[in-house]
Amino acid sequence: MRAFFQRIRDSVFRVGWPADERKALLAMRSSFLLHLHAPKVRPASLRLAATWGLGLLSLFLYGSLVLTGVYLMFYYIPHPDAAWRSMGDLEFVVPYGVVTRNLHRWGAHAMVAIVLLHLGRVYLTGGYKAPREANWVAGVGLAVLTLGLSFTGYLLPWDQLAFWAVTVGSKMVASVPVIGDAAALLLLGDQTVGEAALLRFYVLHCVVLPVALTGIVAFHLYRVRKDGGLVTSEHAPEPTEGPRLWPAWPHLIYRELALLAGMVALLLAASMLFNAPLEPLADPTRTPNPAKAPWYFLGIQELAHYSAFWGGVFIPAAAIGALIVLPYLDRRTAGLGRYWPPERRWANSVFLFFAAFFMVVTVVGTFFRGPAWALMWWPP
Amino acid sequence: MGRRSFLRALGLSGAGVLLAQSAWATLRFARAPVSYGPPSKTTLGERGRFPRGAVTYAEAARVFVVHDDAGLGAMSAVCTHLGCTVRRDGEGFLCPCHGSRYNAKGEVTGGPAPRSLRYVQVEEDRRGRVVVDTDVEVDPDDRLKLG
């Protein structure tokens, strides 16, 4: 009997528990999940400050969002007559409905923040340069998809905030010269945000964008390894004693598990302490005052306040375009793997300037804009 | 051109045509000539609802109905900046989203709005009820003369 279960276990885990280094290396090569990492890693890559674990955390948050999202789909009905009511059911009737929705909402906020920080980390350390150009472009695509998922998910509760944030967003699309109106019609399926738009956003949010994101994530992870792993500095001190490379099990895997445990604890705590907001049912005849998008779009909303097209569409699109062509223009390879190397002062200053600009408009939009988007000095 | 390169070109262009046609079909598919939204024409009711000299908000059509000496007019309450619904603010109107301001006639007096509020068509149906069509823009001075 024991041998029977042993056979089953061995058929799944070919190597067994990696108790010694030989078995650890075998496990890293033969296990489906573990083979995402190289069997051996440079000790310099293991320092927390080398990556802050941001890629891993993005991936984990994406997985948890898919999971909680599927849970929510069992109750959510994508129709204007029923959507808001099903949010109420999740909140007041369904056991653990509130905490599931909270996990989804706060996880989404965390994912946006961490994906953007990941992008910043890779930029500062020059991780976009050859041979990693294509993977950097894939990463920019993943960041855009993350924002797209968050934008489409924002409409689904069908409350006042959802309705007006998406009304404003789709008018920004429509403000693009020549193709704007057609693009907005394509997105909404109608002239205004209504039944057709809700269904479109639902399908985009639950099927189209997650499938696209999953595919690009697979490519992204594959290329991380194929392109030689983490970008590291040629100035990183070689270990004076001990091996030049360490086995990924346990040194890398245990560090990752510790990081994930921290993230799980944080996410659970946030979801048990704070409830995701739900405003009154969407009402096309009354706009709340002020009508604000989620924080990561408030920078764009602040810019749109000056000009719908230039601030709301042109500047964000130009920023994304610049990030995509960047690795094909900036090809010097000095100063890689460090956050503030002398060789990259200029490149990193430009990036930090734009990041600071984006943060300033976000903070202004979040805290210093009151009713009718008027400047005010203290949040209400 | 050899047999191999001919077949390769044939296969590639076949796949290309198929892809292009699929992309075109996807775009067409996403733009059905039907609207699930509210109709552009809304019946607002008897003209008595809109007293002379007053500006009345008609929620059903998101318009302000103006009744002055010349007759009935309908000014859209949809902000021309990004589509929020404006609200009354003193004599004029104010958009709560980005602070566009309009005077009593709907002309821009401040904020990011690119143009004045739209005036839309007002008609009477056979039973004498007021009907507005928010798809048909008219001159701000156009009025439905009341007999």
Residue A304: per-residue pLDDT: 83
> Can you tell me the mean pLDDT for A317-340?
91
**Pair (B30, B46) in one structural domain:** no
Does the pLDDT of residue A333 top 90, yes or no? Answer: no
Q: Considering the domain boundaries, does residue B147 fall inside one?
A: no
Whole-angstrom Cα distance, residue B145 to residue B138? 14
Same domain, B60 and B91: yes
Q: Are B47 and B103 part of one and the same domain?
A: yes
CB atoms within 10 A of CB A66: 14
Residue carrying the six token digits 């699309």:
A173
**A192 falls in which pLDDT band (50, 70, 90)?**
confident
What is the predicted pLDDT for the residue at A380? Answer: 45
Domain tally, chain B = 2
- Which residues are registered as beta bridge partners of B75? B64, B119
Minimum distance, in Å, between the CA of residue A192 and any CA atom of chain B: 7
The per-residue pLDDT of chain B, averaged, comes to 90
**CATH number of domain containing B114:** 2.102.10.10
DSSP per-residue string spanning A175-202: TSTTTHHHHHHHHHSSSSSSHHHHHHHH
A196 touches chain B (CB under 8 A): yes
pLDDT mean over A245-252? 91
Contact A190 B87 (CB under 8 A): no
Which range is most confident: A199-213, A299-313, B14-28, B65-79? A199-213
- Say if residue A351's pLDDT is above 50: yes
Identify residue A261 by its one-letter amino acid code. Answer: A
Mean predicted confidence (pLDDT) in B71-98: 90
Residue B74 shares a structural domain with residue B14: no
Give pLDDT, residue A114. Answer: 97
Residue B83 sits in the same domain as residue B24? no
Check whether residue B56 and residue B12 sit in a common domain: no
Question: Would the CB atoms of B62 and A191 count as touching at under 8 Å?
Answer: no
Q: Which residue, among A21, A83, A79, A77, has the nearest Cα to A247 in the 3D structure?
A: A21
A289/B62 touch (CB, cutoff 8 Å), yes or no: no
* Residue B83 predicted with pLDDT over 90: no
Q: What fold is seen in the domain A41-228+243-283? A: Cytochrome Bc1 Complex; Chain C (1.20.810)
Q: What pLDDT, on a 0 to 100 scale, did the predictor assign at position A263? A: 96
Residue B24, domain extent: 1-34
Mean pLDDT (chain A) is 90
Residue B144 domain flag: no
Answer whether residue A377 shows pLDDT above 70: no
| Cβ of residue A178 closer than 8 Å to a chain B Cβ | no
How far CA B104 is from CA of A47, A287, B89, B108, B130, in Å, comes to: 64, 19, 9, 10, 22
Buried b (16+ CB within 10 A) or exposed e, A48-57: eebbebbbbb
Q: Assign A236 a pLDDT band (cuts: 50, 70, 90).
A: low
Locate the DSSP E strands across A131-289.
Answer: 246-247
- The reply to whether A185 touches chain B by the CB within 8 Å rule is yes
Q: What percent of chain A has pLDDT over 90?
A: 59
Q: Are residues B55 and B77 in the same domain?
A: yes
Mean pLDDT of A31-41: 90
Instruction: State residue A258's pLDDT score.
Output: 95
Q: Are residues B117 and B46 part of one domain?
A: yes
- Label residue A237 by pLDDT band (50, 70, 90): low
Arithmetic mean of pLDDT, A334-339: 87
- Whether the model clears a pTM of 0.90, i.e. scores above it, the answer is no
Cβ neighbors of A305 (< 8 A, separation 6 or more) are: A311, A373, B98, B99, B112
Q: What is the pLDDT of residue A378?
A: 55
Q: Are residues B63 and B98 in the same domain?
A: yes
Mean pLDDT is highest, among A229-238, A240-249, A370-379, for A240-249
> How far is the C-alpha of A310 from the C-alpha of A315, rounded, in Å?
6
Answer yes or no: is B143 within a domain. no
Statement to judge: residues B74 and B16 lie in one domain: no
Phi, psi (degrees; rounded to nearest 5) at A309: -80, -55
A308 contacts B82? CB cut-off 8 A: yes
For the stretch A57-86, pLDDT in tens is: 999 999 999 999 999 999 999 999 999 999
State pLDDT tens for residues A278-320: 988 998 888 887 777 778 888 888 888 888 888 888 999 999 9
